[in-house]
Structure 1
Amino acid sequence: MQQRSFSIFLGIIIRSFFQFLAFGLILFEFSPSLWAQKHGNVWYFGKNAGIDFSSGSPQVLFDGVIDNFEGVASISDYNGNLLFYTDGMTIYNRTHQPMVNGTGLNGHPSSTQSGVIVPLPNNDTRYIVFTVDYAYSDGDLYYSVVDMTQAGGMGAVVTKNIFLQSNSTEKISAVRHLNHIDVWVVIHERESNEFKSYLVTSSGVSSTVKSSFAGQIINNGVQGCLKFSTDGRYLGMATYHERRVEVFNFNPGTGDVSFHSVYSFPDATYGVEFSGDSHFLYASVSYDLKQIYQINLQLKTRTLIASTGMAPGCLQMGPDGKIYVARYNRPDVVSRYLGVINNPNEEGTACNYVDESLYLGATRGSLMGLPTFIQSYFVPAITLNGTNSCLEDTVHFSANLFGNLQQNHDWVLWNFGDPLSTDNTSDILSPQHRFSAPGNYTVTFKISSAGSELEASVEVEIYPMPQTTLPDTLKLCEGGDATLFAGESGFNYLWNNGLTSPAINVSIPGKYWVRKTSEFGCLASDTANVVTIPGPEIDLPGSYTICPDSLLIVSAGNDQFEYLWNDMLTSSTRTITDPGTYFVKKTDTFGCHSEHRFSVDYFYVPDLFIGADTMLCSPEGIDLSASGFATYRWQDGTNVSVYHVDNPGIYSLVALTADQCSATDSVEVFMCCEFSMKIPNVFTPNYDGVNDTFKPVLHDAGRYKMTIANRWGAILFETNDPEEGWDGYFLNERCPAGVYFVVFDIERCTREGRFTFVKTYGSVTLLY
């Protein structure tokens, strides 16, 4: 039985005021405002494109005004409602109007990640907007401050373009500090292997910057994304023109960056994104190859998982746990679709990338960029595993607990949503359950730790078992057949004789079993016992051998029976002329029948070939010969294998094998004709005795004429004598060196011994 496994990423329902998340070996307790996973619910990007994840799956938005080729950022409130978004130069409020004092930021539309928005820790109204310039600038890094209490709750920029440093690449990423309150913002410098980690606390951007030197020096790799894993353990970086992706370890307590691994690619690298479980890093390779790779961080290997129809750009995880892929064609061809990696935690192509997955609208679309977020927004607390299964199977469930939930919980409780069963609940982490009836079930998982409860659910479908309809016993005449019918179409069938149709014809006694499998892999089996009644005897051999073109008369019995041959004849006797396999069905008055199969083959008859049509050119004549037969008879009655020919004519032979099968062949002998003509292409009338005249070399020619003309068509020489050549003179004067045209009118012989006129054109070069 085949089962379709899936791992469903689930949002977390907050059941009490305080929730917790563990990082490493330390358990932290914090308020709902610090567990605000909906800040990344609303995205605006590309050419007026937008999506909203508030319903659990992305819904396309049509109100965005942003039109930006690459980096963008957006932020929503605790409940997932849009606050504002930016292209790095203008901040737009939730009504899609420029925010008060929100223009003139120092980002750039062609910066890979033009900025990121960081909520000020322990403050629900202030946000810091970091911006980075593009490759062909000084690489300035700035930040501005938004106060959402201003402008009637629409927000205003109260501090703008505070300079932090120059020499930044187009890369920026952010993640929660180990204390789950503060935020690290990390950039990489140009012509260096230095990372800068800026810490944002409740006091703002710290003046103390953490520097780390790791990996290779960036020269031409200014473009390309920098991205944290959601758990903050890893940092991935694409270096566009340098065609590599580097992975680093990150310490969220200190901001230190250290080298992990590096991977080379056959084309420019642009987007990077980690799977939710941090086992894999995905990288987009553009532009010419249009590929997406999966990097296994444990094995340190890379695997091509997709070739895309348009160039893949930025990769960004969504609140649903899937990774979304920007698509475009340079210089500015918009894609109406986002690609989606549906199962990022699965290895290889099982990650299920769909190239044209999310339609953005007829007038809106993706370019290179997707929003940059604090990656901690996308940390799942729980993922559940279950299987869609058949009714008679036991379903196994498990809960993947992230952080320190695995070791630090008080109790768990599963509810399988199956009240008709006797074991509808379980208090172990990985239970199993056999459902009472087919249908769709919502299986709920609860976990309690430190007085708080988390709840998640997974949908499973239980498929019905297929039904079979075979009889216990089936009687049929020996040599006859009957139909065993196992059910309707729409299922997969496998019989013990290897057939895969819903019904089979049977003619041999014995037990027949069938396995019937539904489209969901559910399996049922059934068996029928077939017994036979003997049919009438057919007294015929198993094979015949005949000469080609002869007749074979076969009789299967007398006329008191009914007969049916394979070619639908109904007589007891039939005539056969062709080799092959034949069978006859003989039915008695009770309806029982017998079948007999026999073969008809030809005796072997060698090919008879006494030669191709030929010419008689020798006065001694020629011999025609044959071999491989028992006897020979020529057209004049001569019984020899070698026949001598002195005269032209048609000669034929009939040859017999030892089985008295015959073969014939004939040949025509013509009078000899060996016409040939060779025409020189240059001659030199310098009286040295070599090549002083121009004429052809002829054999077996009749009447003859050679005409020579100059380039203007004037005839310079004519002759009917094959032995007379042109000496290069006309009217007793030497003709100038050059190319002259020649026409031959020649009577030549044919292979039939007759003559015909042919005209041949050519040219000759006169040299001195």
Structure 2
Amino acid sequence: MYATIAYGQKEAANWYFGKKAGVSFTEPGPQALLNGRLDTNEGCATISNNKGELLFYTDGITVWNRNHNVMLNGQSLLGDPSSSQSAIIVPKPKSNSIYYIFTVAATAGNDGLRYSEVDMNLDNGKGAITNVKNVLLTTPSTEKITAVQHANGLDFWVIAHAWNNANFLSYRITESGVSTSPVISSVGSIHNGDAGNSIGYMKASPNGKKVALAKWNIDSVVEIFDFDANTGILTKPITIDNVFGKEQKTGAYGIEFSPNSKVLYVSDVNLNNSSSKLYQFDLSNSDKQSILDSSTIIYSGSDILSAIQLAIDRKLYISNTVSSYLDVIEYPNTIGFACNYNNQGLSLNRRITIFGLPPFIQSFFVAKIEANNVCLGNVNSFKIDTDEPIDEINWDFGDGVTSNVQSPEHVYEFSGVYTVNATIISMANTYNLTTQVEIFDNPKIEMQTEYFICDAQPIKLSLNTTHDAYLWSTGETKSEITIDTPGSYKITVFDSYSGSSVFCESSLDIRVIESGMPKSIQIDTVDWTRNNNSIIIQAEGIGQYEYSLDNENYQSSNRFDNLSSGDYIIYIRDSNGCGVLEEEVYLLDYPKFFTPNGDGVHDLWNIRFAETEPSISIQIFDRYGKLLKAFDQNSTGWDGTFNGAIMPTDGYWFVVNRPSKNKIYKGHFTLKR
């Protein structure tokens, strides 16, 4: 299975013609181009890539690259700027770099029909003419040339007309190159006589089923033929005569089909009195009389309307000779004046058009893919804008997903630029189309989704990135708002993408919760041991609390176990960030012995940290239950005496009344002498 290359209308997105005039169709609404170097009365040709990026252009003699510099080896081609269709450019099938420039001489000159090869890989991607240059195909030839896609959807036909006979020459361009043995169709009138009779345009219909040509000068006629895009053969000639000028320097010159291939437009140029007419013919009924009966003169006046060219916006543009305007036919598929002819409808910004406009492969205009750039996650709808019946269609969305639905929908998983291909089978013909869609990232909202109002104090909800527009559920349209009420809030952020007509949005739901510091705290202790004590904290409030003994390591449990006796600071913080409280706590203990011998070490016995309890009372008894000493938190303790008498080494007991805890503690210690 070979890989096909799909061609879309964007290859015809840039035109250069006349005296450094140009038009770009890359954006909605054609725009004048002022950077062209081409200066020609008639013949010219332009080609872009399928993204609509200019590749090169020519007057049939000189070739300019995308930077508007003369292409390497791009001079001395044997076309002629005074040839109606001095050149046409055709890509080599299954190649992304090779193009052929076909040139025709003026007034049936001896240089005839030739071709030269361009390799876009040369000169750092700017392209160059290779040594395949000015290869002769036939001579003499009229000034007429057109191109259309082969029925297989891959190859192309370049069609010319010989001089001094009735021969059409159809040259097939394949992946192997240009076939120098044409398919010859000897049909219609003989093209001969005055050299001016070689002047005039030839076009294939976009669907590749018709070919029409204009014979200017003496006894001017238009000829219409059936064309077989599979064999390259022309048949069934119809001659439209006795309509156009019969004198020298008068007659049918420009010619073009409508996008639906059913309407033909012809410019009738009279250089003797500097006037012209624009004719419309309905080809729906393929007999001469019906076509003649359908004739409508769309324009008649002193403007010289010359070349007519179909554009990628599916309108027709007409060279308003020696002016800085192109005329426009807005609805060329429509019969009669409803086609909406617009005289001087497109300004060239003071650049001058003469007679010619660049011809293209007519198949570029048979159909186009309609799709929009969208935001990531949105559905992209695809359809084909064509007047041809679609018997079968195969889509490739450029991300590995395919479809055979005529108007599919597709959601891309990642942002980026995707090349979309569609292969259409319509009766005996295959058309390959391509377009590009860009999937934009939705704006990123860099915010947390949960906030806390601490003790009813107002807080700010704010974005830390800049976007085009904002909308809060409160109705405010700025990046930051102040609130003091808990609840649910929503922020929607919008981003516009310049030139793409896409406006993306993202939304984020934000929950604001009421929180705060404890309204009351109760601290309980389990102490009276050396290293197996506990602290238990009861904090009441609307917050969620965490606890620590060092203000660094916090825990959700409100209990600390296996603690040594001593003094502590309890830290209580709201886990929602509302603040930190501190409380001092003391774990009581008592000495298991003391030695009141006056050496300054363990001379007194007391309850450790008793000074922290303002209502504590302590009593000491001997083994017989005799009260020896009673004191409170302000006492330094017992010195081992009773009424001045030194008590002996022995065991003693104590009772501690601790009203703050509503508890009484009893214990035993030893006095040593």
Say yes or no: does 1:273 pair with 2:246.
no
For residues 322-349 of structure 1, give each alpha carbon's deviation from its aligned partner in whole angstroms, at most 9, with x where no partner exists: 0100121xxxxx2110011110000011
Question: TM-score, normalised on structure 1?
Answer: 0.47
Say yes or no: does 1:238 pair with 2:225.
no
The match for 1:53 among 15, 18, 25 is 25
The match for 2:353 among 366, 389, 410 is 366
- Code of the residue aligned with 1:206 in structure 2: it is S
Matches within 5 A, 1:55-454: 55-135=27-107, 137-138=109-110, 140-158=112-130, 159-219=132-192, 220=194, 221-241=197-217, 242-264=219-241, 265-267=243-245, 268-287=251-270, 288=273, 289-297=275-283, 298=285, 299-301=290-292, 302-328=295-321, 334-362=322-350, 364-381=351-368, 402-405=387-390
Tell whether the 8 Å contact from 2:330 to 2:341 is kept in structure 1 after alignment. yes
Tell whether the 8 Å contact from 1:412 to 1:448 is kept in structure 2 after alignment. no
For residues 104-135 of structure 1, give each alpha carbon's deviation from its aligned partner in whole angstroms, at most 9, with x where no partner exists: 00001110000111111100001111111000
CA distance in 2, matches of 1:143, 1:280: 31
CA distance in 2, matches of 1:49, 1:258: 38
- Code of the residue aligned with 1:179 in structure 2: it is N
Tell whether the 8 Å contact from 2:5 to 2:93 is kept in structure 1 after alignment. no
For residues 572-630 of structure 1, give each alpha carbon's deviation from its aligned partner in whole angstroms, at most 9, with x where no partner exists: xxxxxxxxxxxxxxxxxxxxxxxxxxxxxxxxxxxxxxxxxxxxxxxxxxxxxxxxxxx
Specify whether residues 454 and 93 from structure 1 end up closer, same or farther in structure 2 by C-alpha distance, changes over 3 A only: closer
3-state SS in 2 of match to 1:355: strand
Tell whether the 8 Å contact from 1:45 to 1:370 is kept in structure 2 after alignment. yes
3-state SS in 2 of match to 1:178: coil
Specify whether residues 49 and 125 from structure 1 end up closer, same or farther in structure 2 by C-alpha distance, changes over 3 A only: same
- Code of the residue aligned with 2:358 in structure 1: it is P
Deviates more, 1:337-346 or 1:254-263: 254-263
CA distance in 2, matches of 1:321, 1:113: 21
3-state SS in 2 of match to 1:143: strand
> Please, what is the CA RMSD of the aligned residues?
3.0
- Measured after TM superposition, the shift of residue 203 of structure 1 is 1.0
CA distance in 1, matches of 2:73, 2:433: 43
CA distance in 2, matches of 1:49, 1:411: 42
- Code of the residue aligned with 2:315 in structure 1: it is K
For residues 389-415 of structure 1, give each alpha carbon's deviation from its aligned partner in whole angstroms, at most 9, with x where no partner exists: xxxxxxxxx997544426769656799
- Code of the residue aligned with 1:366 in structure 2: it is T
CA distance in 1, matches of 2:159, 2:2: 25
For residues 28-75 of structure 1, give each alpha carbon's deviation from its aligned partner in whole angstroms, at most 9, with x where no partner exists: x99783133211100000010011111132111100010100010010
CA distance in 1, matches of 2:385, 2:97: 34
3-state SS in 1 of match to 2:338: helix
- Measured after TM superposition, the shift of residue 189 of structure 1 is 1.1
Tell whether the 8 Å contact from 1:111 to 1:132 is kept in structure 2 after alignment. yes
Specify whether residues 453 and 352 from structure 1 end up closer, same or farther in structure 2 by C-alpha distance, changes over 3 A only: closer
- Measured after TM superposition, the shift of residue 454 of structure 1 is 10
CA distance in 2, matches of 1:43, 1:399: 24
Specify whether residues 456 and 105 from structure 1 end up closer, same or farther in structure 2 by C-alpha distance, changes over 3 A only: closer
1:720 corresponds to which residue?
Answer: none
Tell whether the 8 Å contact from 1:326 to 1:338 is kept in structure 2 after alignment. yes
Aligned residues: 379
CA distance in 2, matches of 1:455, 1:136: 39
3-state SS in 2 of match to 1:193: strand
Tell whether the 8 Å contact from 1:134 to 1:170 is kept in structure 2 after alignment. yes
CA distance in 2, matches of 1:224, 1:456: 36
Tell whether the 8 Å contact from 2:3 to 2:94 is kept in structure 1 after alignment. no
For residues 545-590 of structure 1, give each alpha carbon's deviation from its aligned partner in whole angstroms, at most 9, with x where no partner exists: xxxxxxxxxxxxxxxxxxxxxxxxxxxxxxxxxxxxxxxxxxxxxx
- Measured after TM superposition, the shift of residue 260 of structure 1 is 3.5
For residues 681-733 of structure 1, give each alpha carbon's deviation from its aligned partner in whole angstroms, at most 9, with x where no partner exists: xxxxxxxxxxxxxxxxxxxxxxxxxxxxxxxxxxxxxxxxxxxxxxxxxxxxx
Tell whether the 8 Å contact from 1:317 to 1:378 is kept in structure 2 after alignment. yes
CA distance in 1, matches of 2:54, 2:367: 21
CA distance in 1, matches of 2:91, 2:433: 26
Question: TM-score, normalised on structure 2?
Answer: 0.53
Specify whether residues 54 and 249 from structure 1 end up closer, same or farther in structure 2 by C-alpha distance, changes over 3 A only: same
Tell whether the 8 Å contact from 1:47 to 1:67 is kept in structure 2 after alignment. yes
CA distance in 1, matches of 2:3, 2:333: 29
Specify whether residues 94 and 350 from structure 1 end up closer, same or farther in structure 2 by C-alpha distance, changes over 3 A only: same
Tell whether the 8 Å contact from 2:264 to 2:282 is kept in structure 1 after alignment. yes
3-state SS in 2 of match to 1:135: helix
- State the identity as a percent: 38
- Measured after TM superposition, the shift of residue 208 of structure 1 is 2.3
Tell whether the 8 Å contact from 2:108 to 2:142 is kept in structure 1 after alignment. no
CA distance in 2, matches of 1:237, 1:203: 29
3-state SS in 1 of match to 2:279: strand
Matches within 5 A, 1:526-541: none
3-state SS in 1 of match to 2:5: helix
Structure 2 runs not aligned, ≥5 long: 246-250, 372-382, 395-403, 410-421, 426-431, 438-673
3-state SS in 2 of match to 1:377: helix
CA distance in 2, matches of 1:216, 1:259: 12
CA distance in 1, matches of 2:407, 2:90: 37
Specify whether residues 79 and 337 from structure 1 end up closer, same or farther in structure 2 by C-alpha distance, changes over 3 A only: same
3-state SS in 2 of match to 1:39: helix
Specify whether residues 294 and 139 from structure 1 end up closer, same or farther in structure 2 by C-alpha distance, changes over 3 A only: farther
3-state SS in 1 of match to 2:198: coil
Specify whether residues 88 and 282 from structure 1 end up closer, same or farther in structure 2 by C-alpha distance, changes over 3 A only: same
Specify whether residues 33 and 453 from structure 1 end up closer, same or farther in structure 2 by C-alpha distance, changes over 3 A only: closer
1:23 corresponds to which residue?
Answer: none
CA distance in 2, matches of 1:321, 1:406: 22
CA distance in 2, matches of 1:400, 1:43: 23
Specify whether residues 354 and 167 from structure 1 end up closer, same or farther in structure 2 by C-alpha distance, changes over 3 A only: same
Specify whether residues 224 and 121 from structure 1 end up closer, same or farther in structure 2 by C-alpha distance, changes over 3 A only: same
CA distance in 2, matches of 1:214, 1:262: 11
Tell whether the 8 Å contact from 1:292 to 1:308 is kept in structure 2 after alignment. no
CA distance in 2, matches of 1:154, 1:448: 30
Matches within 5 A, 1:515-534: none
Specify whether residues 166 and 403 from structure 1 end up closer, same or farther in structure 2 by C-alpha distance, changes over 3 A only: same
CA distance in 2, matches of 1:413, 1:182: 26
